Amino acid sequence: MGQCTPALQEEVHGEPDYMSKSSTFDSVWLLQSLQKITAGVNKTTNKHHSAFKATKKFYGTQQSPTEGIDEFYNRFENAKDLVGQFNADVVDLTALLADEQKTNPTATKETTMQKFLAVAFIMGANGHAVTMENKYVIPRTGTRHLRETTIGWKLIVRWKDGSELHCLALG
């Protein structure tokens, strides 16, 4: 916390869990607390209001025209994580999971959430990265095909456990 301003240090010291967390050097708690504080949340903030604002920010996360995909992914993940800081979810998966399990009995909440987040990420990506004029690639063979991008109508997602590839049709 040495690089934090005195005001920010005071905010962290005022957190209810500060004494127990600081004595165990809980760096994850510290980072989460700093994330909340810099998002305008403190111990007197209405948590329902904060969860709503964080969820609204998540759904409003868009890639800027000059932003690379890695930077956008980091902002997207931070917006998702901030929603989780308030013990909230970006979406209620109950109906989606039940529907998914009709065709895939082994579907889990985690895999369903990953599919949802993949779609949310793609929908927030810069749709102007490929223009109508340069949407086709013509290799040396002369066979024209659509340029592959992260904003295409298909998204291949390798699940975190690496066991499956899924193709999501968007649109």
Alpha-carbon distances, residue 165 vs 12, 159, 162, 170 (angstroms): 43, 7, 8, 16
Dihedral, 94, 159, 34, 14 alpha carbons, nearest 10: 50
Tell me what pLDDT residue 161 has.
45
pLDDT band at 84 (very low <50, low <70, confident <90, very high): confident
Q: Give the mean pLDDT of the chain.
A: 75
Tell me what pLDDT residue 130 has.
55
* pTM of the entire predicted model: 0.59
Q: What is the pLDDT of residues 90-105, one digit of tens each?
A: 999 999 999 989 999 9
Q: What is the residue extent of each domain of the chain?
A: 1-45, 47-169
Lowest pLDDT segment from 15-19, 37-41, 58-62, 112-116: 37-41
Whether 148 has a pLDDT exceeding 80, the answer reads: no
Q: What is the CA radius of gyration of the chain?
A: 21
Dihedral over Cα of 39, 123, 62, 149: its sign: positive
Which of 119 and 152 is assigned the larger pLDDT? 119
Whether 80 has a pLDDT exceeding 70, the answer reads: yes
Which of 100 and 33 is assigned the larger pLDDT? 100
